[in-house]
Amino acid sequence: MPELPEVETIRRDLAARLTGLKILEVTRSASKMLRKLPAAALRSACEGRIFERAARHGKLLQLPLSGGAVLEIHLGMSGQLLLEPWEAPDEPHTHVEFRLERGLALRFRDPRRFGRWALVENGKRKGQVFEHAGVDPLDPAFDEACFFAIMRGARGELKRVLLDQSRIAGLGNIYVCEALHIAELSPYRGASSLSGSEAGRLFEAVNSVLTLALSHRGTTLLNYRDASGEQGGFQLKLAVYGREGESCPRCGSKVKRQVQAGRSTFYCPKCQGRGRKM
DNA sequence: AACTATACCTGCAAGC
DNA sequence: TGCTTGCAGGTATAGT
């Protein structure tokens, strides 16, 4: 599932390989994926335009085009944004396809169809409205003081506060579970109950897990691929996520899975014991 | 107001 | 074997 490290990996790929390329033709644009973004609007905004750069905020990719329009793409659960030769086999679930210069095509595949596209033109957004107002962890503004202030001001359990995209944009279930394990904090601890040193530990854990995952080009559990179709490597380093019943790499206790706020939380009850609910 | 449940989707895996 | 069932999860929205 694409979270910050996966989306950032794709962004870097696209920044290197897509920038400067002209869109010749929009050859596919499934209305199911585009929602309130009419296919005709996408076509007229994109055809003949050039990809100027690749940006990202949280899990949202932003692709500014010449002329001022910006494409916004959220990969959802299983979205892939692939830059491949025009002749590459037409895999199932390819919902959007741009034919580009140099024999390349930008293709959007998404089996589960949770991905969303939007187009921002003249300050108006057509398509899905994304709520990614939180600070991006790779932004220099995201420092320890900023993190501590967010935790202090948040009601609720650590797990759900860290997942809240309106506070911090980019963390998903995998990296939140991993960061809490690194910091040896219970997912059930109240965010505002953290001491300064605990918040500092968690801040470092969030940064280190994101940096390490990024260096492995993300985590591939099932669907994630980079813009070249390659898998990530960080799944081999996961300590708790998806490892229910296996032993904690730090203390050897059995990793536990519990449903919290509607989704699976993986944690080590021994290392991360303090703070309710075992 | 703030928390919870559900809808959206498909592929996969487990169970019968 | 082949079917059914349940589960995975990011986010918006409906419900409590």
The 10s digit of each residue's pLDDT in A77-99 is 899 999 999 999 988 999 999 99
- Return d(Cα A1, Cα A173) in angstroms, integer: 9
Instruction: Give the model confidence (pLDDT) of A50-77 as tens digits.
Output: 999 999 999 999 999 999 999 999 999 8
Beta strand pairing call for A124-127 and A116-121: antiparallel
- Torsion angle, alpha carbons of A195, A200, A205, A208, to 10: 180
User: What's the confidence (pLDDT) of residue A278?
Assistant: 44
Q: Give A178 CA → B11 C1' in Å.
A: 25
Helices (H) and strands (E) in chain A, counts: 7, 11
Name the nucleotide nearest A154; use CA and C1'. B2
The residues of chain A scoring below 70 in pLDDT are 131-132, 274-278
Which nucleotides of chain B have an atom under 7 angstroms from any protein CB?
2-6, 8-12
Which one of the listed residues A35, A102, A254, A263 is annotated catalytic?
A: A263
Strand C atom within 7 Å of A174 CB: yes
User: What's the confidence (pLDDT) of residue A124?
Assistant: 87
Pick out residues 8-37 of chain A having their CB under 7 A from any atom of nucleic acid strand C. Answer: none
Q: Give A214 CA → C8 C1' in Å.
A: 23
